[in-house]
Structure 1
Amino acid sequence: MAVILFGMSHFTTGQFLRRSLRHHARSHVAVALGVVVAAMVIGGALIIGDSVRDSLKSLSLVRLGKVDHALISHRFFREASAITLSQQPEFAKRFAVAAPGLVFPASLERRAADSASQTRSAGVTIYGTDERLWSLLATEQIAPPTAGGVVLNSLLAEQLRARVGDEVIVWVEIPATIPRDSLLGGQEEQSSQEVRLKVESVLPASAGAGRLALQPSQQVPKVAFVNLQDLQKELRLEAVERSRNKPQASRPARVNALFVSARESRDGQGDSAVAAAKAITLALRDSVTLDDLHLRLVRNSSGRYTSLESERMILEDSLAKTGEQIAAQLKLPTSPVLAYLTNEISRVGDDTGKKFSMYSIVAGVPEPSNLAAPFGPIEPQSPPLGKNGVLLCDWLAQDLGISADDRQAQIRVKYHKVGSKGELPEEELTFEVRGILPIDGMLAGDRGLIPTVPGITDAKTFNDWKQPFPMDIRRIPKRDDYYWNKYGPTPKAFFDLDAAREWWSSRYGSTTSLRVGVTDGQSLEQSAKLFESDFLKALPMDSIGLAIQPVKFLGLRAASGTTDFSGLFIGFSFFMILSGLMLISLLVRLGIERRASEIGLLSAIGFSPSRIGRVLLLEQCSVVLFGAVIGIAASAGYAGLLIFGLGTLWVGAVGTTELRLSIQPGSLVIGFVGTLLAAGASAWLGLRGLQKLSPRELLAGQTELVDQDDSRAARRSRLLRISRWLLLLSIALSVPVIVTQSGAGEAFAGLSIATVVFFLVGISTLAAALCRFAAWLDGDRFASIIGSGQVALLRLSLRNAIRQRRRSLLSLALIASATFLLVAVAAGRRNPAVETPDRDSGNGGFLFVAESTTPLIHDLSTSAGRNKLDLRPQPETNAAALLERMKLASFRVRPGENASCLNLYQTRVPTILGVPKGLSGFKFVNPPRFKAGPWALLDQASSDGAIPVIGDMNTLMYSLHKGVGDTIKIPDDTNPKATLRVAGMLDSSVFQGVLLMSEENFLKLFPEQAGFRYFLIGDQRFEDGGQELSKDEARELSDLLETGLAPYGFDVEPIGDRLASFLAVQNTYLSTFQTLGGLGLLLGTFGLGTVMLRNVIERRAELALLRAVGFRPSAIRRLVLFENALLLACGLVVGTCSALLAMLPHLLSTGADVPWLSGAGLLVGIFGVGLLAATGATAEAVRTPIVASLRGE
């Protein structure tokens, strides 16, 4: 009747679909569940990506509050410039607030009441704030700090164990006008200030102000807020008015930060934010005065010129260049000067030892014989100085016994050269005297050549000097003191400017003053004002560190992240998706096979195979559509569970618990369409085989073409040969590595030879085992059933597995391959904390990594340097011995963004370290064959001027997306200051998150970065004889350094712990893959159960016959269960053994951290669930009606 109805014209395809869907609802529900799983996993992975991106955007908005643009400079400018900026009409139209502030790195310490115990926290950012900045932050009604108080964020309070009312000590660097590591920088002076404050309040974790940072990161920073005026006073940055009690020159209050809030979001975080930042920078330039730059224009008393000078003693090259350009545009003559303080000037050949002068100031000027008005001409005329000539003032010439007629006279100049670590080696040069100038003449009598240096140039006598370095005052002759009293810092000797720059310039600049003359028809005052006005308008704001940055816009842009979490979780869930699709195909095939006779009947009455296929495909697509809708709806819940996991179990992968679920319609559509395509293809694969069968075969219940291959023996022989060759290949690969012990060398991409070889051995062994199993399936060992009881039942199960060779092999291969990957991934975990120092590893043979808040100018590795740092343990103690044996590598630091895998935000410019000469060790990826070692890559010159850098492979490839040979422009691509070229890569090193540059190039590129702030610490005994520090000695050395260098915020961490923190992300990813992959493998076991069910349906008559001849239902169950257990166990064992063999070098290494217990538990659980999944097949086997099945047969 149904067939007749189907043939009627009024019985539509839609009606057939509805009735068929209803009639075969059970099988369709199973298919729909498989689609639900695939859609849920795909959609959930896409939602995870959206959630991470939106959470990072939200964190950027929360941490910045109303701050849209900001500036943090190494330069201290006037606080009043913020007011001047706010009063500009164009600024006020677009921007609401310009708040000044102070931002410093600091370290905090809390001591107990009995002073016996203390807690420290380094790496703190301290903000000097008032109501203006406080109003821009999300403070949750917490009052701003008052004088003598501090507000801590919750993380810092927790680390210090501080509560409201506790006293804390803040160590912060004292700003230095003159760079500390320059000759007059006062290296002996205190460089850090101790400030005692009371905790007024603790910001709750939910307060955005507690996350305030301009560099994007999802991790909570350590933050403290201090009253701005209070901090200015402590750091000598407060305003000072000249008075009777304070006769020194007045100075304005200074800050180093500016925070701006836009009136409209488009100017703060929208498309016009970059243009808005440039507009603020231009407005700020209009507000800047010379005082903001620590510059002054000094009018010469003679009225001939003005002198551009710096309170820093030396003019930065960018400022000096700008000054010369402006003077040239205004047609004003210029004459740059480089002054220097010498130790001693003496006459060569003086046998008496009395002809010398101490601590004389000398100057390099343009060739004196060519000087014109207003700087010349110089009388008397003298030959060109060249590199070896010198002009003396007559006072010095008289002291040295040199007359104008003495043509062969030479002088010896001794001076300090500032070393890279604050040392002051004395060097000397010899010059020929080319002339003697009168002390009251044009050049020798010019007191305007030397800029004012407080404590030196304003001192009345040498005894009044604020000594910049240890001076031997006793050797100063009385005539030198008399000269100073009469002429002050007027130079005594003059050299060619280019030669002087070669000897005495520093990375901070090569000019101490720029003399600017007047033009015809203008007074000195008019020329000076015109020069000053044009000079300020032409300031290179980027170069001088006063460019405003659109921090909110950059933070939101960086929220796209370095890691695509959508792709990452699709990869993690690969086996779940694959298993779901495989399950869809198997279930569709199973449902169709149950309807084989129905399809045969339709074919027999005249329906073409293509029409039947279209109707069945349409039916399955309807099921897929329904399942995809349910799955996409369920994907939000699945994503929610993953978000919960990322905030708890897998928090190491993201470093924050602040991730929030975010569902975007676009991702749901992509997931829905992707599921339809993938599941539809799987359904089509399940259908296509039946179209090749004839109606008679279908009516007979046949569901597969009979294998016509009569050469099973030949195929078995071929498979056995392949298996043997693969095993021989494994032996051939592994034995040479084991015998010659050559596995430590690098193969490629940082992987050792042993790692690559044994991974190939593992894969080869897996393939050999699968070939061997396939050959066994082609054998006839179990063709006859011998014996009785359970043994016979087991042999019958094996025979059934052989009967469905293709399905058995496919199932085993899937289980084995999935197990191989899961076990290999789980076995790849590392724990560097237990690794020993090794020069060719990520620790480079060092024990500790340390960072200081305040730069260390002096050499910590020498006793002289330690004495200057006030690190003086009692002699002949274990502490003193530890310091003497300490191996140290000190690095200069240019702070930047954290580019390690710990930062989810996209990185623009990472922190850059200046590498000291002589650094060796560490493991490189594809190291060059340099005699000097791979670190020599940093010294290779480039034809295009690009500066070579080295980075860790993880930082370069995954955070910066760069490889060897690629370039990085700093500070960014649109405004490049310099171009860096990646010259080499380190493998899993402690330098993750930073770039490494030679110290020479570092000082050229970042001259403002004084001292050292990053240190690697080891023990010389390890270098000499491989002996390591004991745990007690390591702890003593760490405590000694942290306590003795507490004013510098010195924080010591075991290098293994630092590496472990980096690897925590990788290990968490491995755990995530293990968990989700395990779920996928579990789902795959259900696919294996479906294969068993399919086998049972095909063998209904056979199973009915077994029951008819006396087999009990329990025996039938065991028969089916044994077959399932065989395939499952073989797959798990083959995959596990092959994976362990592949990971053998890692398993034998010191840092291996394999989760044996959880891994074994996962495999046992998968085996148990696989057996449970076979219960459907066993139930179907005993439910088969005996009489009906035999009658059909």
Structure 2
Amino acid sequence: MSRFTTGQYLRRSLRHHARSHIAVAIGVVVAAMVIGGALIVGDSVRDSLRLLTHYRLNAVDHALVSHRFFREDSVVALRQQPEFADHYSGEAPVLVFPASLERNADRRTRAAGVTLYGGDERLWEGALDFQDTPPPTSGGVVLNSKLAEELRAAPGDEITVWVELPTTIPRDTLLGGQEQQSSQELRLKVDAVLPADVIAGRFSLQPSQQFPKVAFVNLQALQKALDLEAVEPSSRNPQRKLARVNALFVRARDSARGHGVQAVESAQELTRMFRASLTLGDLHLRLMPNSSGRYASLESERMILEDALAKTAEQVATELKMPTSPVLAYLTNEISLVGDDTGKKFSMYSIVAGVPEPSQLAAPFGPIAAQTSPLGKDGVLLSEWLAEDFGIRPEDLKSEISNQPGPKIRVKYHQVGSKGELPEEEQTFEVRGILPLDGMLAGDPGLTPTVPGITDAKTFNDWKQPFPMQISRVTKRDDYYWAKYHAAPKAFFDLDAARGWWSSRYGSATSLRLGTADGQSLEQSTKSFETDFLKALPMDSVGLSIQPVKFLGLQAASGTTDFSGLFIGFSFFMILSGLMLISLLVRLGIERRASEIGLLSAIGFSPSRIGRVLLLEQFSVVLLGAVIGIIAAVGYAGLLIYGLRTLWVGAVGTTELRLSAQPSSLAIGFAMTLVAASASAWWGLRGLRKLSPRELLAGQTELTERDETRAARRGRLQRFSRRLLLLSVTIIVVVVGFGMPAKEAFSGLSWSTVLFFVVGMSTLTAALCAFAAWLDGDRFVSILGSGQIALLRLSLRNATRQRRRSLLSLALIASASFLLVAVAAGRRNPAVEAPNLESGNGGFLFVAESTTPLIHDLSTVTGRLKLDLPADRLFDLMTVASFRVRPGENASCLNLYQTRLPTILSVPDDMLESDRFKFIGERHRQGHSPWNLLKASPPDGSIPVFGDMNTLMYSLHKGIGDTIKVPDDTNPKATLRIAGMLDSSVFQGVLLMSEANFLKLFPEQAGFRYFLIGDRRFEKDGQALSKAEARELSDLLETGLAPYGFDVESIGDRLANFLAVQNTYLSTFQTLGGLGLLLGTFGLGTVMLRNVIERRAELALLRAVGFRPSAIRRLVLFENAFLLACGLAVGTGSALLAMLPHLLSTGADVPWLSGAGLLAGIFAVGLLAA
């Protein structure tokens, strides 16, 4: 006789008990399918984002987009470098502008937030690699499908495009031309509409999965419209003008340099090559030799030298041993003699200058012998011309002998306010010297930079007025001086003092005078200076650094949200139900084989060996189920991806998702399932070791529990349940009777929310404890009655027979339904919420954004007049908070890409003292606003910022105290420190800093482009505009400010868009959780099957004494229905109690119908399973 081996037993056992093993395998398949499918969804989202990055950027690997307009020829010079031709191609000079569009046939159909690209065939065929549609004509525009759909435009339609008119002199400076046109209107005809499936139609430099709004126009036509085209010299304008662009796109010849391991080095290499093609003109700089031949002036077309450029220039000059002297020139309104009774001793619109202490000036800028004493903050040197006009003689000045105060002058000048206002300031100075007009300072027009329209004007009447001027007050002497000396300063001040009055965030000098190096001519010195200056130029600081945009985009494709973890969480109850089903089915199969196991034990098999054989048998089943489940996971993931493209598209914001299963994810899912399912199988087997062979042979599968033990446990459970119910009732009485402050408890949650959640959880726990105590009740009391009532009582008694199984089933269903109902009840619709100071809307009605910055204050009548807005009652009721904007990436939950640098807003000073918006961890206290934290100066030099909780935690993965490194316009290594967190606010996706810090970090950002608009009566008496008035105000603003691309949106709608993602996640959890709960009902059915199998003798006895089969079926059905109904009722009731404050709030958006339908469906399926 052959020896009976474990292997033989295993094979025969698998065949003999195939039906129960198949049931276990199905449970494993479900678990593997859900776990593997969730991991595949994560792979699919990441790979889809990577694919979208390739689509979005097409052939563009590296890009430069700058606030500077550099020569188009610099791109040609870049291409001519040998190293460039070896590794790169497709270089394209481009103009990139934010724009707003309007369809002419319907002046109310507008689109804001559009990116306008001006390019030629180098962009169309080179960078974009797109040849199916001809490039735009000189009078035409090509729209992508998203933009055409919003405008309802088709080829041949006429549209109007508004873009900001470029200016070299910042608009919010004295000479910036605030009164002049700030946007340019282009009337174009639609040449073509790019279909949605055309790659070029979704071209965008911003990492986002959402379809952008894009328009393409002809480069030369756009340059001409914006005064950026090339102009040859003429008799009228002898200066040659070169064509300019503000962007450069480059493609690499190999993927490693384009978006692979060499991409960062490649971008640095391109930046070095681009530097070599630059000239001073690309930086809006020029070196102007002085007519005296003593020095040259480094000055800027911007009228102010940026501090970073001035610092670099001084360092280079020092290395070349060239003497330097900075100058700060300024235009005054009036200079007059103090004490003049005639009222005739004044000079209008004189140029003055701040220079280093004149007494210390050395050659070639000094010495200055006419000074009597140091200038300090209250001294001035006058030109001989102005002193003569005022009748001041050298002997009138204060001297050491006379010790009498010298004559004084009064200087009036404009300061530039934060919102374009021009308040006039005046100061009095003592005259401490008179400078001859042929000396070192006076009479030198080279001290004032060239300002087109001013310094080249022949008379004051020819000036292009930068602000309203009183030309009638200009004297003949003023005109005569201008004709002879032009813009030569008439008065001189100490440079440090002048910087305190007239410097701006853009810089603190208008020019830098450069002397000659030893042994060199001025021409040789300036040539050496220009070469070394361009070599030393900090490309990052001046905004001319080329970035590896495709490489960065692919890095960002890793995403802000781990969809693998997210869907494992969503499917938690499916996984848990599957594992519970495995454990129950294994236990059921083993219990049916109790006599077999007892026989094995009786003939000599040790308990450990029996356990190993059974565990190996179950592991074989689990292994097979895991293999099948992982294969099925691909199909399940496909269904989830389809759901994300359709039902749950609000969670991802795109339909461009593709299924992608990585082997590593399949392996991880397989391993996770194997471990979890094996553990569940072991759990199902573990109790049999405690039973003796005799008990097993008798079919017993559980240890008998003593009545005393049950009674003691019942008492403990009843006492604990009563205490929890007393706690819940007490909390409700206190909250209802005495009220609770509407303040934060922790993590943005109010006390009422926290306490009612405690009530809900306490009620759930108390109900489960009470049920467990009931299961421990006396089983030997007779059941009296007849008919259906008696049958129902008997079914309830049967529910107590297997206490552990009944309690486990009810607890699972109650917990699952609690979470499902609580999550479903948590939906919000902010669109119906009223303004509230301490809420996500901050008491405002609208949020608005403009394409072109607004310099003037929308809140004031003067500001609205300068913006050409008509007078209207609604404007008088309007209050506006205006924010400067440093554009960055969208860090809100609407963007799946990982964010490197979010958009940053400046908080207006008046909001820093307000009580608006709700904070997490910070409360509004009397005399103290959390906004004040933005004014703090941390000892480490970091800049305090605020962010919305969702942005910080889920997009940036930052908390309070964490830091963010931010490249900025002047300091690429600035550090932001999170100082506060807003709760569910309209500021999702951005960071907030004080205006003072913002202007320090980002001086280039002129004007305001983000606005919160409300009713000025709201803070005083709670009044707010009606819906009709609000709509009218929105239309007035959008129509009146159409040239600025002003787009107004209800703040409730903006918050609803943000919450659409959260609400979609809740719907996803509700759906997948419902499936898990459904699967849990099958587990309950399995429990019932176990009970029926164990009670076969009992049921046979019932039939023998006269019970009909239908009555016995109802008996089993009542038992199952009782457990199911109790679980659903306990979970649902506790959840509604926990969410009561939210349910009673205005913005609650509870899906009552679908929720009730889901619970009813689960109940029905549970009954069918029984």
The answer to whether residue 790 in structure 2 is matched with residue 792 in structure 1 is: yes
User: Which of these residues, 199, 203, 223, is aligned with residue 190 of structure 2?
Assistant: 199
Residues 684-1083 of structure 1: matches in 2 within 5 Å? Answer: 684-780=682-778, 783-873=781-871, 880-919=872-911, 920=914, 921-927=916-922, 931-971=927-967, 976-1083=972-1079
Q: Secondary structure at the match of 1:657?
A: coil
User: Which of these residues, 178, 185, 194, is aligned with residue 187 of structure 1?
Assistant: 178
Q: Secondary structure at the match of 1:74?
A: strand
Report the equivalent of 2:154: 163
Structure 1 residues 979 and 1047, CA, compared in 2 at 3 Å: closer, same or farther?
A: same
Aligned-pair CA distance for 1:709:
4.8
User: Which of these residues, 396, 401, 408, is aligned with residue 391 of structure 2?
Assistant: 401
Structure 1 residues 740 and 481, CA, compared in 2 at 3 Å: closer, same or farther?
A: farther
Q: Secondary structure at the match of 1:43?
A: helix
How many angstroms apart in 2 are the aligned matches of 1:233 and 1:217? 32
User: Which amino acid is the alignment partner of residue 1142 of structure 2?
Assistant: H
The answer to whether residue 33 in structure 2 is matched with residue 40 in structure 1 is: yes
Residues 639-718 of structure 1: matches in 2 within 5 Å? Answer: 639-718=637-716
Is the 2:583–2:680 contact (alpha carbons within 8 Å) kept by the matching residues of 1? yes
Structure 1 residues 78 and 124, CA, compared in 2 at 3 Å: closer, same or farther?
A: same
Residues 510-589 of structure 1: matches in 2 within 5 Å? Answer: 510-589=508-587
Residues 349-368 of structure 1: matches in 2 within 5 Å? Answer: 349-368=339-358
Is the 1:575–1:1081 contact (alpha carbons within 8 Å) kept by the matching residues of 2? yes
User: Which amino acid is the alignment partner of residue 38 of structure 1?
Assistant: A
How many residues are paired up? 1157
Is the 2:971–2:1001 contact (alpha carbons within 8 Å) kept by the matching residues of 1? no
User: Which amino acid is the alignment partner of residue 1161 of structure 1?
Assistant: G
Q: Secondary structure at the match of 1:100?
A: strand
What is the alpha-carbon root mean square deviation over aligned residues? Answer: 1.3
The answer to whether residue 1091 in structure 2 is matched with residue 1092 in structure 1 is: no
Is the 2:893–2:989 contact (alpha carbons within 8 Å) kept by the matching residues of 1? yes
How many angstroms apart in 2 are the aligned matches of 1:683 and 1:806? 17
How many angstroms apart in 2 are the aligned matches of 1:665 and 1:218? 25
The answer to whether residue 618 in structure 2 is matched with residue 620 in structure 1 is: yes
Aligned-pair CA distance for 1:782:
7.8
Report the equivalent of 2:401: none
Q: Secondary structure at the match of 1:849?
A: strand
How many angstroms apart in 1 are the aligned matches of 2:206 and 2:232? 37
Is the 1:838–1:845 contact (alpha carbons within 8 Å) kept by the matching residues of 2? yes
User: Which amino acid is the alignment partner of residue 939 of structure 1?
Assistant: K
Deviation sequence 1:910-962 (CA, Å, 0-9, x none): 00001101113000001156633111011011111101100001101111111
User: Which of these residues, 422, 427, 446, is aligned with residue 429 of structure 1?
Assistant: 427
> Mind listing any 5+ residue stretches in structure 2 that lack a counterpart?
399-405
Aligned-pair CA distance for 1:402:
1.9
Is the 1:229–1:238 contact (alpha carbons within 8 Å) kept by the matching residues of 2? yes
How many angstroms apart in 2 are the aligned matches of 1:1141 and 1:714? 31
Aligned-pair CA distance for 1:352:
2.2
Aligned-pair CA distance for 1:831:
0.3
Is the 1:782–1:799 contact (alpha carbons within 8 Å) kept by the matching residues of 2? no
How many angstroms apart in 2 are the aligned matches of 1:928 and 1:868? 39
Report the equivalent of 1:348: 338
How many angstroms apart in 2 are the aligned matches of 1:265 and 1:818? 49
Deviation sequence 1:191-240 (CA, Å, 0-9, x none): 11110111111111112212111120000110000011111111110000
Report the equivalent of 2:165: 174
The answer to whether residue 58 in structure 2 is matched with residue 62 in structure 1 is: no
How many angstroms apart in 2 are the aligned matches of 1:489 and 1:740? 75
Aligned-pair CA distance for 1:613:
1.1
Aligned-pair CA distance for 1:973:
15
Report the equivalent of 2:483: 485
Report the equivalent of 1:91: 84
User: Which of these residues, 1142, 1162, 1165, is aligned with residue 1161 of structure 2?
Assistant: 1165
Q: Secondary structure at the match of 1:942?
A: coil
Q: Secondary structure at the match of 1:405?
A: helix
User: Which of these residues, 130, 143, 147, is aligned with residue 134 of structure 2?
Assistant: 143
User: Which amino acid is the alignment partner of residue 232 of structure 1?
Assistant: Q
User: Which amino acid is the alignment partner of residue 914 of structure 1?
Assistant: S
User: Which of these residues, 245, 265, 269, is aligned with residue 279 of structure 1?
Assistant: 269
How many angstroms apart in 2 are the aligned matches of 1:139 and 1:652? 31
Aligned-pair CA distance for 1:520:
2.3
Q: Secondary structure at the match of 2:1010?
A: strand
Is the 2:744–2:923 contact (alpha carbons within 8 Å) kept by the matching residues of 1? no
Is the 2:371–2:432 contact (alpha carbons within 8 Å) kept by the matching residues of 1? no
Is the 1:743–1:755 contact (alpha carbons within 8 Å) kept by the matching residues of 2? no
User: Which amino acid is the alignment partner of residue 237 of structure 1?
Assistant: L
How many angstroms apart in 1 are the aligned matches of 2:372 and 2:971? 47
Aligned-pair CA distance for 1:290:
0.7
Is the 1:908–1:972 contact (alpha carbons within 8 Å) kept by the matching residues of 2? no
In percent, how many aligned pairs have the same letter? 79
User: Which amino acid is the alignment partner of residue 732 of structure 1?
Assistant: T
How many angstroms apart in 1 are the aligned matches of 2:299 and 2:943? 32
How many angstroms apart in 2 are the aligned matches of 1:744 and 1:520? 75
Structure 1 residues 703 and 781, CA, compared in 2 at 3 Å: closer, same or farther?
A: closer
How many angstroms apart in 1 are the aligned matches of 2:1065 and 2:10? 45
User: Which amino acid is the alignment partner of residue 164 of structure 2?
Assistant: E
Is the 1:138–1:208 contact (alpha carbons within 8 Å) kept by the matching residues of 2? no
Report the equivalent of 1:317: 307
Is the 1:74–1:545 contact (alpha carbons within 8 Å) kept by the matching residues of 2? yes
Aligned-pair CA distance for 1:868:
0.7
Q: Secondary structure at the match of 1:495?
A: strand
Q: Which moved more, 1:1141-1150 or 1:700-709?
A: 700-709
Report the equivalent of 2:44: 51
Aligned-pair CA distance for 1:777:
1.4
Is the 2:882–2:1009 contact (alpha carbons within 8 Å) kept by the matching residues of 1? yes
Q: Secondary structure at the match of 2:656?
A: coil
User: Which of these residues, 244, 248, 268, is aligned with residue 258 of structure 1?
Assistant: 248
Aligned-pair CA distance for 1:742:
2.0
Is the 1:909–1:972 contact (alpha carbons within 8 Å) kept by the matching residues of 2? no
Aligned-pair CA distance for 1:140:
6.3
Q: Secondary structure at the match of 2:1017?
A: helix
> Mind listing any 5+ residue stretches in structure 1 that lack a counterpart?
1-7, 874-879, 1175-1193
User: Which of these residues, 624, 631, 640, is aligned with residue 633 of structure 1?
Assistant: 631
What TM-score, normalized to structure 2?
A: 0.98
Aligned-pair CA distance for 1:783:
2.7
User: Which of these residues, 362, 366, 378, is aligned with residue 376 of structure 1?
Assistant: 366
Is the 2:541–2:972 contact (alpha carbons within 8 Å) kept by the matching residues of 1? no
What TM-score, normalized to structure 1?
A: 0.96
The answer to whether residue 589 in structure 2 is matched with residue 594 in structure 1 is: no
How many angstroms apart in 2 are the aligned matches of 1:896 and 1:97? 26
Report the equivalent of 2:504: 506
How many angstroms apart in 1 are the aligned matches of 2:27 and 2:971? 53
How many angstroms apart in 2 are the aligned matches of 1:204 and 1:738? 59
Report the equivalent of 2:402: none
The answer to whether residue 295 in structure 2 is matched with residue 305 in structure 1 is: yes
Is the 1:194–1:1047 contact (alpha carbons within 8 Å) kept by the matching residues of 2? yes
Report the equivalent of 1:1183: none
Is the 2:883–2:906 contact (alpha carbons within 8 Å) kept by the matching residues of 1? yes
Is the 2:944–2:976 contact (alpha carbons within 8 Å) kept by the matching residues of 1? yes
Structure 1 residues 677 and 1040, CA, compared in 2 at 3 Å: closer, same or farther?
A: same
Structure 1 residues 564 and 110, CA, compared in 2 at 3 Å: closer, same or farther?
A: same
How many angstroms apart in 2 are the aligned matches of 1:93 and 1:997? 45
Residues 214-293 of structure 1: matches in 2 within 5 Å? Answer: 214-244=205-235, 246-293=236-283
